[in-house]
Amino acid sequence: MIFLALLAAAPASGQGPQLWQSFFSVSMDRIGTYPLCESPDTPPEKICANKLDGMITFDLRTPPKYLTRNIWVDLGADGKPMHASARTSGVAGQEDVLKALKLRYGQPKVIKVEQVHNAFNASFPSIHARWVLPNKARVDFVGVTDNIEEGEVNWWAP
């Protein structure tokens, strides 16, 4: 349930622009307004930004159980977000992540489960889901990436 707190307040039934304007608790339409992480004025519980060339990383400071601390945002030449990415905890948390994403975006357009293998050839399920939002933005979820302890959620601008 802690993971749900990071999703923006609009429910899946609210199919307006607010549905895609945030990725977890980072508002894509306010991307340049977050305080810098190295600023002494940034409260420790707030989201802060680290600006790099063409990219901003957001430090969630108090991440939920199934999400890592950082969200990465790639910026276009116009300074607007093109892509955002967050790492999840892999096979252990993928069901909770999927539930949270369904609450936020509704049923995915595509959902499937694939078997992945670790170095010892043990098999694990990996959930793959895709949402195409009304404005053509896309959200992709991969429950397990190249490591069973990592998954990924990606937001793609329309």
* Structure-block tokens of residue 88: 């999840």
pLDDT at 43: 63
pLDDT at 32: 75
For residues 104 and 7, the answer to whether their CB atoms sit within 8 Å is yes
* Structure-block tokens of residue 46: 């707030």
Residue 10: pLDDT above 70?
no
Q: Which of 24, 65, 26, 67 is nearest to 49 (CA)?
A: 26
For residues 102 and 95, the answer to whether their CB atoms sit within 8 Å is no
pLDDT at 46: 67
CA atoms within a 13 Å half-sphere pointing along the CA-CB vector of 82:
8
Largest CA distance in the chain: 49
For residues 69 and 60, the answer to whether their CB atoms sit within 8 Å is yes
Residue 6: pLDDT above 70?
no
Per residue in 95-146, pLDDT tens? 999 998 998 889 999 999 999 988 888 899 999 999 998 888 899 999 999 8
Sequence-ordered list of residues with C-beta below 8 angstroms from that of 69, at least 6 positions apart, any chain: 59, 60, 61, 63
Alpha-carbon distance values, 61 to 12, 46, 80, 101, 133 (Å): 26, 7, 24, 21, 28
Per residue in 30-60, pLDDT tens? 777 777 777 666 666 567 777 776 677 777 6
